[in-house]
Amino acid sequence: MDATQTGPVIGVVCCQKSLDAYAIQSVNEFYLNAVKQFGANPVLLPGGSTEAELKQLLSLVDGVLLTGSHSNVAPYRYGATHEEAKKDEGRDALSFALIDFCIRQEVPILGICRGFQEMNVALGGSLHPKVHEVEGFQDHRESPLNDMALKYAPAHPVNISDNGTFAQWLAPLDNIQVNSLHGQGVNQLAPCLTVEAVAPDGLVEAFSLQAHPFFIGVQWHPEWQADKNHFSRILFDQFMISASDRRSLKDGNRVNW
């Protein structure tokens, strides 16, 4: 991107956490770094915003990034009844509102890990609460080691679907290596989504909404050293191209926000 040009603005979802009795809005800096590395400007979207506040914030953004998190989507949102200790219902409410907004307004949106799961649930899919306990699936959870290079190292390949967007981006490659840091995963895929990549055990690891300008979710973590990974560079480049196109439409006063 030309340094004299203003990059697109990417709204990044926040998680709500507690730290020493303080209420915290948090985002892992890996995501912010990736957004900036690819020429965009991140703006944080806090949970607990009123509809009017969120509407004003969203009028500023050209794309939305749904990040990963150590919390999980509340089970009731996909018809499950199990107990979930790691909930963040403020994050749920924010993310589901963002997904609805991005679909209605055709705003580019990228979901990573929890964000990927939120997209699936928001469109009518469901999740396995503990993939490693489901017969036939591998253990996809992250390493307990604190060495980030090991934690985010490639863990397994994913096979690229023939009929998707990734196949167009990656041809002639038909598989790539990805990291793996998730305990939950897709059970039933939302009917409107197209599978983009599948793990060797059959778990859906990426999807797209083909009728949308850019609606893509990945189960792995491409934000880790994104500028050094072949697929991550393609993914973030395409996300920013779509967001830049959206910005051009806004600047041309052709979008009704």
* Residues 91, 97: Cα–Cα separation, whole Å: 10
Distance CA 105, CA 84 (A): 32
- The confidence score (pLDDT) of residue 21 equals 87
What average pLDDT does the segment 129-156 reach?
A: 95
* Res. 9: pLDDT tops 80: yes
- Here the tokens at position 229 are 């990974």
Q: Is 253 exposed, middle or buried (0-12, 13-18, 19+ CB in 10 A)?
A: exposed
Average pLDDT, the chain: 93
113 is catalytic: yes
Give the helix/strand (H/E) hosting 186. Answer: strand 185-186
Which whole number is the average pLDDT over 86-110? 96
Residue 69, pLDDT > 90, answer: yes
Q: Mark whether 156 is an active-site residue.
A: no
| Phi-psi group of 135: left, alpha or beta (phi > 0 → left; psi -120 to 50 → alpha; rest → beta) | beta
Query: Which pLDDT score, from 0 to 100, does residue 256 have?
Result: 44
* Active-site residue identified among 102, 113, 182, 205: 113
CATH number for the domain spanning 104: value is: 3.40.50.880
Q: Identify whether 256 is part of a domain.
A: no
- Check residue 5 and give its pLDDT: 55
In a domain, residue 2? The reply is: no
Residue-wise pLDDT tens digits, 155-191: 999 999 998 999 999 999 999 999 999 999 999 999 9
Residue 17 lies in a domain: yes
Model confidence at 254: pLDDT above 80: no
pLDDT of 196 > 80? The answer is: yes
What range does the domain containing 150 cover? 9-251
Question: Does 106 participate in catalysis according to the annotation?
Answer: no
- The band of 103, judged by pLDDT with boundaries at 50, 70 and 90, is very high
Does some domain include residue 64?
yes
Token pair of 53 as six digits: 């506040």
pLDDT-based confidence at residue 2 (cuts at 50, 70, 90): very low
Find all residues with CB under 8 Å of 30, minimum gap 6, and list them: 221, 223, 224
Is residue 218 within 8 Å of residue 198, measured between CB atoms? no
Q: What's the total number of domains in the chain? A: 1
Q: What is the number of H-type helices and E-type strands within the chain?
A: 7, 13
If you average pLDDT over residues 150-155, what whole number do you get? 96
Task: Tell me which of 128, 140, 182, 221 is the catalytic residue.
Answer: 221
Count Cβ atoms below 10 Å from residue 73 Cβ, excluding itself.
28
> Is 65 a member of any domain?
yes
Catalytic hit among 118, 196, 205, 223: 223
The pLDDT value recorded for residue 189 is 98
